[in-house]
Amino acid sequence: MCIDYITDRGPVRAIDHVSLDLERGEFLGVAGESGSGKSTLAQGIMRILPPPAVITGGEAIFEGRDILTLDEEELRKLRWSRMSMVFQSAMDALNPVITIGEQITDTMHAHGDMSARAARDRAAELLEMVGIPGDRLDAYAHQLSGGMRQRVGIAIALALEPTLLILDEPTTALDVIVEREILEEIRGLQRKLGFAVIFITHDLARMLQFSDRVAVFYAGRMAEIGPAEELRTSPRHPYTQGLLRAFPSVHGSTVEMFSIPGTPPSLRNPPAGCRFHPRCPVAVELCSKVSPELKQIGPGHSAACHLAK
């Protein structure tokens, strides 16, 4: 898939030939720095990219149909009933002047006939499921804490029992304890209900803990993808290695913090060859000339690096 942002000074490619596949019921993590295109990809899959972003090529096959070729009405029906999303900021994703109950039930009404009574009961059930008392249906967003709002966001996302749930940095605005609780909640619900998850975050350590597989993005391209356990113990791409060292271990042992020198490149004119080479500690001459292809280096494990074996 390719996604461009059309700007006054020409198109900027935010997602550059990225290819992902996802099994039913799988928990896939997508990691990367700010601006690496993670959220753009998520919105691209849902086809809710705000202008000036335009999907310029590729395909997104979901249950045998290419989402990119669907018309508005087909898309409207597909959205939420089959795939849904939890937004980045729980604060902004809930409408402040509508009760949370209505924001859950209107989804159900939009996708099928349901009596008001039944929808309300189901909404209360959903709230209970994410750990909010069912009698808070008539509450407004401002009456809830940040963690509770994000739980409401999850309840909305699960309202129609989708087969794919996209989490776009769902916990960035929350503190670590609430973050952990919510992720565990999602993991538990996933085991129970069997939906697939695309979990987007910049917190690689957290992601490795929860995901089955992890994809690492750098400057609009995929740097590495593989089983979470393998990425954690033997990352092949220097960028993944750098990212792993940039986060303290979750198990509390004090290690020296390391940060990758430099800043992510501008997507307007990315460096030639491998986009990571200016910041790469092990770059060789080839890296600045030829862009590495994503190549398989183990079962289900690929990396886009000339040096990876």
Partner 1 sequence: MRYILRRFGFYVLAAWVALTMNFFLPRLMPGDPATALFARFKGRLSPEAMQGLREAFGFTHEPLLKQYITYLGHVLKGDLGISVAYFPSPVMKVIGTGFVWTLFLAGSAVVLSFAIGTLLGVAAAWWRRGWVDTWLPSALVFVGAFPYFWLAMVALYVFGFTLGWFPLGHAYSDDITPSWSFGFAIDVLRHAVLPVGTVILVTLGGWLLSMRNSMIAVLGSDYVNLARAKGLPPARVALRYAARNALLPSVTGFGMALGFVLGGSLLTEIVFSYPGQGYLLVQAVRNQDYALMQGIFLVITLAVLGANLCVDIFYLWLDPRTRESRS
**Binding footprint of partner 1 on the chain (CB under 8 A):** 46, 48, 50, 75-81, 84-85, 87-89, 92-98, 106-107, 110-111, 140, 142-143, 156
Choice between 38 and 237, CB closer to partner 1: 38
DSSP H or E run through 166: strand 164-168
The smaller minimum CB distance to partner 1, of residues 50 and 281, is found at: 50
Phi, psi of 296, deg, nearest 5: -75, 135
Radius of gyration of the chain measured on its C-alpha atoms: 20
Residue 110 beta carbon to partner 1: minimum distance, rounded to whole angstroms: 5
d(C-alpha 291, C-alpha 223), whole Å: 11
State which residue, 89 or 291, has the beta carbon closest to partner 1. Answer: 89
Tokens of 42: 């998520």
In the complex, minimum distance from the CB of residue 116 to partner 1, in angstroms, rounded to a whole number: 15
Q: Where are the beta strands (DSSP E) in 127-169?
A: 164-168
Residues 133 and 214: their CA atoms lie apart, in Å, by 34
Tokens of 5: 């942002």
* Single-letter code of the amino acid located at 204: L
C-beta of 100 vs 124, nearer to partner 1: 100
With tokens 């979901």, the residue in question is 62
Spatial separation of the C-alpha atoms in residues 158 and 156, rounded to whole Å: 5
Tokens matching residue 162: 């989708």
Q: Quote the least distance from Cβ 213 to partner 1, whole Å.
A: 24
Of the pair 96, 281, the CB lying nearest partner 1 is at: 96
CB of 77 to partner 1, least distance (A): 6
The least distance separating partner 1 from the CB of residue 63, rounded to whole angstroms, comes to: 16
Cα distances (Å, whole numbers) of residue 158 to 26, 104, 155: 16, 9, 5
Nearer to partner 1, 48 or 286 (CB): 48
Q: How far is the CB of 248 from partner 1 (least distance, A)?
A: 30
Residues 6+ apart with CB under 8 A from 147: 90, 174, 178, 181, 182
Side chain identity at 62, as an amino acid letter? F
Whichever of 97 and 257 has its CB closer to partner 1, that residue is 97
The minimum distance between CB 199 and partner 1, in angstroms, equals 17
Q: How many residues does the chain have?
A: 309
